[in-house]
């Protein structure tokens, strides 16, 4: 693996490099061992960076806001690329479109829409993380999903070319998108519709208040742990199976919403995984249903 070429490239392009970077500093769960190398590029240097990593056969993973991931306690081999500096956003009010880079906060995009009287994203209010991550996981709430506002997505393909895909091409499904293997989301164009700013703000406020009453938004969590099962909410199954309050170490099933596991102190990935197994077993025992993880698990 040619790490020297990578180092020289990062120096030449002013890319911030951190060694043995604790992933617990970059995940909403505050969990995760060290990444061998952490890089913070902007979009202009991103394609060439990926080519260098591929040529050197250096393993890498791309992370946005770190809000729906669980990183192993042993950390991550190779390179972790953070999109936090890929955060530009541009509004075209006349066309009712918003162009956001992958690292742009989803709530930043929503707030810009609200301020300019563009509707369509209100149901996504309160969802943390980046726009790229929200697209990859087709994030949604209150009957609204990312697929409802996506016009097109720019992807960096494995061959280094940039390809634009329409919303239909993305093959959005429940909490997933059919992103071509090895490709990376660079940016997206969102298509909204005009409405009165006051009415949009009112809807956003209502959704935020409802979320605060039903989810542990002030706690360290990674959002929903398991995907909903067909027409039944995973949280409802877990609640009826008596999972609320279950605990392993400092990881606890929220008393507010059973599909949220919260880190109450110094929880570990191993604690989290053990609790997932225990909860899954209780739901299977009571309902005969096998829950599928919604949270992404990564690392050594």
Domain count, the chain: 3
Say if 220 falls within a structural domain.
no
Please identify, among 45, 67, 82, the residue that sits at the C-terminal boundary of a domain: 82
- pLDDT band per the 50, 70, 90 thresholds, residue 230: confident
Same domain flag for 127 and 183: yes
Same domain flag for 148 and 94: yes
Same domain flag for 125 and 167: yes
Rounded Cα–Cα distance for residues 245 and 219 (Å): 14
Rounded Cα–Cα distance for residues 169 and 154 (Å): 11
Task: Provide the CATH number for the domain around residue 53.
Answer: 3.30.43.10
Identify the pLDDT of residue 63: 96
Give the pair of three-digit tokens for residue 138.
Answer: 């087709």
Q: Measure the N-to-C terminal CA separation of the chain; round to a whole number of Å.
A: 18
Say if 177 falls within a structural domain.
yes
Q: What is the mean pLDDT of the chain?
A: 95
Say if 219 falls within a structural domain.
no
Same domain flag for 94 and 210: yes
Residue 159 pLDDT greater than 90, yes or no: no
Residue 242 pLDDT greater than 70, yes or no: yes
What proportion of the chain, given as a percentage, has pLDDT over 70? 99
Per-residue DSSP letter, 264: -
Say if 102 falls within a structural domain.
yes
184, with CB counted inside 10 A (0-12, 13-18, 19+), is buried
66, with CB counted inside 10 A (0-12, 13-18, 19+), is buried
Task: Provide the CATH number for the domain around residue 165.
Answer: 3.30.465.10
Whether the CB-CB separation of 281 and 237 falls below 8 Å is answered with no
245 is in which domain, residue-wise?
234-298
Same domain flag for 25 and 57: yes
pTM of the model: 0.91
Please identify, among 64, 82, 100, the residue that sits at the C-terminal boundary of a domain: 82
Residue 1 pLDDT greater than 70, yes or no: no
Residue 185 pLDDT greater than 90, yes or no: yes
Whether the CB-CB separation of 297 and 68 falls below 8 Å is answered with no
């Amino acid at each position: 693996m040619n790490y020297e070429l990578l180092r020289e490239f990062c120096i030449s392009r002013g890319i911030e490099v951190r060694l043995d970077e604790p992933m617990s500093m970059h995940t909403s769960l505050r969990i995760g061992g060290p990444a061998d190398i952490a890089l913070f590029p902007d979009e202009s240097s991103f394609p060439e960076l990926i080519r260098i990593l591929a040529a050197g056969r250096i393993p890498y993973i791309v992370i946005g806001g770190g809000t729906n991931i669980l990183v192993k306690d042993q950390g991550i081999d190779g390179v972790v690329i953070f999109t936090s500096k890929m955060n530009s956003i541009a509004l075209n009010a006349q066309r009712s479109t918003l162009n956001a880079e992958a690292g742009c906060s989803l709530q930043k995009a929503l707030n810009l829409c609200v301020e300019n009287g563009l509707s369509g994203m209100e149901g996504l209010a309160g969802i943390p993380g980046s726009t790229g991550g929200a697209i990859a996981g087709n994030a949604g709430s209150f009957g609204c999903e990312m697929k409802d506002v996506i016009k097109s997505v720019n992807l960096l393909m494995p061959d280094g070319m940039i390809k634009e895909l329409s919303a239909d091409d993305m093959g959005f499904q429940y909490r997933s998108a059919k992103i071509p293997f090895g490709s990376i989301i660079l940016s997206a164009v969102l298509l909204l519709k005009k409405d009165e700013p006051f009415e949009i703000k009112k809807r956003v406020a209502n959704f935020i208040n409802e979320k605060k009453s039903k989810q542990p938004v002030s706690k360290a969590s990674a959002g929903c742990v398991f995907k909903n099962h067909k027409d039944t909410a995973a949280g409802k199954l877990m609640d009826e199976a008596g999972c609320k309050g279950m605990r392993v170490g400092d990881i606890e099933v929220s008393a507010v919403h059973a599909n949220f596991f919260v880190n109450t102190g110094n929880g570990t990935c191993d604690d989290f995984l053990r609790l997932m197994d225990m909860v899954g077993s209780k739901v299977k025992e009571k309902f005969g249903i096998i829950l599928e993880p919604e949270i992404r698990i990564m690392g050594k």
